[in-house]
Amino acid sequence: MPFRRLRARQYYRRLVFSLLAALLPIALGVAIAIGQTMNGVRQDAEQRLLHAMHMFDRTLDNTNLAASAVMGSVGKPCLEVLQGLRDQVATVPDVRSVNLTEGERIYCTSLYGPVKGEIELDDYVEGQLDLMRGNPVTPNRPLIVYRQETGKYSVLVGVDGYYLLNILDMTSRDSPLGLVVGPQMLLRDSQLTDRLIAPDTPGYLEQASDKYPFKVVTTLSNRDYVAHLWDYSKISIIFYPLLSLLFGLGAFWLTGRAASPQQEFRRALDKQEFIPYLQPVVTGDDAHWSGCEVLMRWQHPRQGMIAPDRFIPMAEECGLIVPMTRSLMQQVRGQFAGRVHTLPKGFHFGFNISAGHCKDLSLVEDCRDFIDAFKANPIKLVLELTERELIVADETTDRLFAELHALGVFIAIDDFGTGHSSLAYLQAFQVDFLKIDKSFVGMIGSDALSSHIVENVIDLATRLELQLVAEGVENEVQAAYLREHKVAFQQGYLYGRPMPMKAFIEQLSA
């Protein structure tokens, strides 16, 4: 009997110890999941706030640019300077109106010309920004007005609420972001309210601009944490007991990572969420649409449209950039092959490639399939070498580029002049095009050094008998400079922003 009791006590001790051992990795995994969720939700919100702040800063930088450009017009007769105001509205991104004031009196607007209107200077936070519910032209749509003064005069530059709401919508999720200017806050549902979120509200986060008097705010709710925890850890939470018994702590932690970036990319690739956006490339002499660069966008089901700089580097690290590019080429081919006779003769399509495309010869077959689809009206296919990862010249790359050139594919170096390996690519590979980086083009007319760099690139291309494409052309001054220097092709917002294929086809056919 005592022996049986001893055996029973030993059995219960082993049972309790085994149960505790099984529960330990579960508890540890739950604690880790909660900690990661807390940090992940907060970091994601902070990144969204920072991204939104930078986007608003860029929008206001455009208003500052427009205001500075017409500052010399203040005090002059309205009809004398009216065209200059309208030029800013037509050429500067995001700007929708430019007005001139004397004191609190508006005397000239880009829309109506000479007017008599009033403003309340006290409404402008730090004398610069006013977030308004509407104006006489769009009374039911909010807008922001940037003010720049000189003496008793000032320039007012208006930005339509469409751009503000678009930024808020792109960066908001379950917990929406709010744009705060003084006592007013704008939310993505077009709601403008003076009921600001108090800084002591639980989960309150803000990101203030150090350039302009505004901030972007949000609050984190329990729903954010629960949704994040469920999205990224639900499999682990369900299977932790079984996994702890079968594999112990190591297997538990390994399988606790519910959603890796590679899995997310594969899911998005299977759902064809990576879609092409096309930006026109025009001839330098007459601005005729001669081709386009195909850019990748991620149409995420929850986050909306994601810009390429946020996911392309990670896709390259995960080794999925090749099938993603293949999907892009297939989508473009499927959309345009049936309209082959509507394309201008010699129309070219440009796709970005990186080091991942140069590890085997699969790219040759992708290019052959693309070119063969346009036999009825042959197009030009351009592959643009990017420098996020160094393309190493070896036997495989030599054969790859030889077969591509034999196929009639053109090779271009993207963002030429900014990377560490641009000149190395010129030596290693047979290149047909150089694309002048937009950072240099953007400073044409304002920065002597950048102009010299552009001239040197043009001279280098001429000596090497290469074609040139200038990226980031945003105004006529830049375009005229490039035309004067015989740059063959231009690309930038002056001629068109990246757009979906349907919109591109409509403009191409117009």
CA-CA distance, 357 to 329, in Å (whole number)? 13
| 3-class secondary structure, 97 | strand
**Local confidence band at 11 (pLDDT 50, 70, 90 cut-offs):** very low
Percent pLDDT > 90 in the chain is 43
- Residue of higher predicted confidence among 29 and 356: 356
- Residue of higher predicted confidence among 223 and 406: 406
Q: Exposure pattern of 353-366 as b/e (b: 16+ CB <10 Å)? A: bbbbbbbeeebbeb
Task: Give me the pLDDT at residue 130, please.
Answer: 92
Res 15 pLDDT > 70 = no
pLDDT in tens, 58-117: 999 999 999 999 999 999 999 999 999 999 999 999 899 999 999 999 999 998 999 998
CA-CA distance, 46 to 43, in Å (whole number)? 5
Percent pLDDT > 70 in the chain is 82
Which residue, 379, 480, 472, 471, is CA-closest to 433? Answer: 471
Res 194 pLDDT > 80 = no
Q: What is the pLDDT averaged over residues 487-504?
A: 94
**First CA to last CA distance, the chain:** 98
Task: Give me the pLDDT at residue 318, please.
Answer: 84
CA-CA distance, 483 to 475, in Å (whole number)? 13
pTM of model > 0.95: no
Mean pLDDT check: name the lowest of 190-204, 236-250, 407-421: 236-250
Task: Give me the pLDDT at residue 6, please.
Answer: 35
- Are the CB atoms for 471 and 437 separated by under 8 Å? yes
Task: Give me the pLDDT at residue 230, please.
Answer: 62
pLDDT in tens, 418-463: 665 566 677 778 889 988 888 888 888 776 666 777 888 888 888 8
pLDDT in tens, 361-395: 999 999 999 999 999 999 999 999 886 677 777 88
Residues in the chain: 510
Task: Give me the pLDDT at residue 444, please.
Answer: 83
Res 253 pLDDT > 50 = no
Q: What is the pLDDT averaged over residues 474-489?
A: 91
Find which of 227-236, 305-314, 342-351 is predicted with most confidence, using mean pLDDT.
Answer: 342-351
Task: Give me the pLDDT at residue 423, please.
Answer: 67
Res 39 pLDDT > 70 = yes
Residue 373 CB contacts under 8 Å (≥ 6 apart), including other chains: 333, 337, 340
Task: Give me the pLDDT at residue 420, please.
Answer: 54
Mean residue pLDDT across the chain: 83
- Residue of higher predicted confidence among 234 and 468: 468
Strand partners, 412: 384, 433
**Local confidence band at 417 (pLDDT 50, 70, 90 cut-offs):** low
Residue written as token pair 């040759």: 364
Strand order, beta sheet including 129-132: 113-118, 105-109, 95-102, 153-160, 143-150, 129-132
Task: Give me the pLDDT at residue 160, please.
Answer: 86
Q: What is the pLDDT averaged over residues 262-283?
A: 91
Q: At what angle do helices 321-336 and 501-509 cross, to 10 degrees?
A: 40
Task: Give me the pLDDT at residue 233, please.
Answer: 60
Res 326 pLDDT > 90 = yes
pLDDT in tens, 292-301: 999 999 998 8
| 3-class secondary structure, 476 | helix
**Local confidence band at 274 (pLDDT 50, 70, 90 cut-offs):** very high
Mean pLDDT check: name the lowest of 14-18, 408-412, 489-493: 14-18
- Residue of higher predicted confidence among 139 and 151: 151
**Local confidence band at 26 (pLDDT 50, 70, 90 cut-offs):** low
